[in-house]
Amino acid sequence: MAKLIVFEFLSLDGFMAGPPGSEMDFVVSDFGDDMERDLAEQYGELDAFVMGGTTFRSLAGYWPTPAAAGEPLQPVMNSLQKLVFSRIPDETQWNNSRVLGPNALSELREIKHGPGRSLMVIGSATVVQALARERMIDEFRFFVFPTFIGAGKPLFTPGSTPGSLKLLRTKSFTTGVARADYQVVRP
């Protein structure tokens, strides 16, 4: 059975994205090479990324383009399978992409219970919230950035929190960002 991991960038005040127009400014300002190496290691554990349509379109607009040439993460971003929650059925302009059907949660549950390694949700707050409500998430991995942004998109909304977590590991990076990994505690 595959493990379903959620990976998110978070500000200290719990936002996964800043206000419109500056969504990832808090990440870009403190993102270091050691963090990129850590991500590459994490991505090496995966069979697929899981993401919503908005995250997919954002990443597909960068990683397979010449602008990303030379980026250390480009090969893995382009080669790993992408499983997409989207209402746009033909949204597969990025290689190794597959739109999950109208019953995306059930389809992902089948994939998760099949053979394989880990699946990782990146970004995609709405997908994370749905997976948390369905109790499908096994682990959370956060890069916590040492900044308060005051407003933006929260990772969770009322009723979508995953419950209790058990700390698995922590790691700090040269820019002051902290990685915290948590296992979801099942009742």
Cα–Cα distance, 143 to 165 (Å, whole number): 16
Cα–Cα distance, 83 to 103 (Å, whole number): 13
Kindly tell me if the per-residue pLDDT of 31 is higher than 90: yes
At 140 the three-state DSSP class reads: strand
> What is the domain extent for residue 20?
4-184
Residue 31's identity, in one-letter code, is F
User: How much is the pLDDT for 92?
Assistant: 64
Contact 12, 147 (CB under 8 A): yes
Closest CA to 49 of 130, 104, 123, 155: 123
Q: What is the pLDDT of residues 88-107, one digit of tens each?
A: 766 667 889 999 988 999 99
Written as six digits, the tokens of 11 are: 């500000």
User: How much is the pLDDT for 51?
Assistant: 95
User: How much is the pLDDT for 87?
Assistant: 79
pTM over the 0.75 mark? yes
Tell me the HSE value of 160 on the side-chain side, using a 13 A CA sphere: 12
Kindly tell me if the per-residue pLDDT of 21 is higher than 80: yes
User: How much is the pLDDT for 160?
Assistant: 76
At 100 the three-state DSSP class reads: coil
Q: How many domains is the chain built from?
A: 1
Q: What is the pLDDT of residues 129-179, one digit of tens each?
A: 999 999 999 999 999 999 999 999 999 888 777 789 999 999 999 999 999
% of the chain at pLDDT higher than 90? 81
The domain that holds 174 is classified in CATH as 3.40.430.10
User: How much is the pLDDT for 17?
Assistant: 94
Closest CA to 112 of 165, 181, 47: 47
Round the CA-based radius of gyration of the chain to a whole number and report it: 16
